Structure 1
Amino acid sequence: MQSSRNQKITLWLLSIFVIVIFVQSLFFKFTDSPETQYIFGTLDKWGASLGFPGLFGHSGIFSQYVVGTGELIASSLLFIGLITKKSLVHAIAALISLGVISGAIFFHLFTPLGVQVLNTDGTYDGGELFSLACGVWISSAFILFLRRDTILMAVRQFAQPAR
């Protein structure tokens, strides 16, 4: 009984962490803040250097609006899954969250964006944004681990041939 209670508390804490980080970032992405312009501008220049101009621009397939929408969907479904006690919805939300944040971590590590992001005042953030992304990744992965039985059951049901 105690283990189940601890698991519920852990799921809530991890989910609230992801929700808060994602929802807080929506203001920056949807208002085209200077920080967002720097991040997506840097990524867009990088994409253009590889022959993909506009990939991260305002109308690109990886624009701040697309990424922000993914974060909004993930955080909304995390919340809905918790409130309604729908473990599959919660697991799907964690999977979406993991996908979105994996992209962010990739672009921090393997593009000119870097781990430390330039602030509007000319200073660097000391890797804070990257650290938060890593925290979201770990939290999302742990939610998926805790929901593994739900995921396996859904996969088995999906994989069964129709009768």
Structure 2
Amino acid sequence: MKKEIITWILRLAASIILLQTLFFKFSGAEESIYIFSTLGIEPYGRIGSGIAELVAVILILIPRTTWIGALLGFGIMTGAVLSHLFVLGIAVKNDGGLLFALAIITLLCCLGLLYLNKNKLYNLLN
């Protein structure tokens, strides 16, 4: 019971953060365009990462595929964190590091989901 509650908290936290950022990516918000232009992958990187995040959310919310979505989300957020650390900086356009913090939180939620589903990952590798 306790594991199920923790799993759902991690699922919802990661999904809400990922879904919230989709609006900005798909609507072409100024900050999103700035980020992906700085990375040199605007507009394809912005739209492509938005689609990948949407797929991750769907997979995370389906209990049977949570581990696949968490693996995808972990990969996406690893890229986001590394982009912040090596190219963008922690604070982007005076956001006080909010986007970086959200990426870290989502990364940790996905990591937690992977840990809670380690048996499925182990079965995949063997």
Q: TM-score range by the shorter chain?
A: over 0.9
Correspondence 1:79 to 2:49: no
The one-letter code matched in structure 2 to 1:76 is I
How far apart, CA to CA, are the structure 2 residues paired with 1:148 and 1:138?
Answer: 15
State the match for 1:42 in structure 2: 38
Residue 23 of structure 1, aligned match among 19, 23, 30: 19
8 A Cα contact 2:70 2:111, kept in partner: yes
Which protein is richer in helix relative to its size? 2
Correspondence 1:12 to 2:8: yes
State the match for 2:91 in structure 1: 116
Structure 1 residue 132: deviation in Å?
0.7
1:134-145 matches, within 5 Å, as 134-145=104-115
How many residues align? The count is: 126
Gaps (5+ residues) in structure 2?
none
The higher-RCO structure (CA 8 Å, 6+ apart) is: 2
Q: Deviations over 1:33-52 (max 9, x none)?
A: 111111112111xxxxxxxx
How far apart, CA to CA, are the structure 1 residues paired with 2:115 and 2:43?
Answer: 35
Runs of 4+ aligned residues of structure 1 deviating over 2 Å after TM superposition are none
State the match for 1:132 in structure 2: 102
Percent of matched pairs sharing the same residue: 34
Structure 1 residue 103: deviation in Å?
0.4
State the match for 2:42 in structure 1: 57
Gaps (5+ residues) in structure 1?
45-55, 119-123, 157-163
Structure 1 residue 57: deviation in Å?
2.0
State the match for 1:92 in structure 2: 68
Structure 1 residue 154: deviation in Å?
2.5
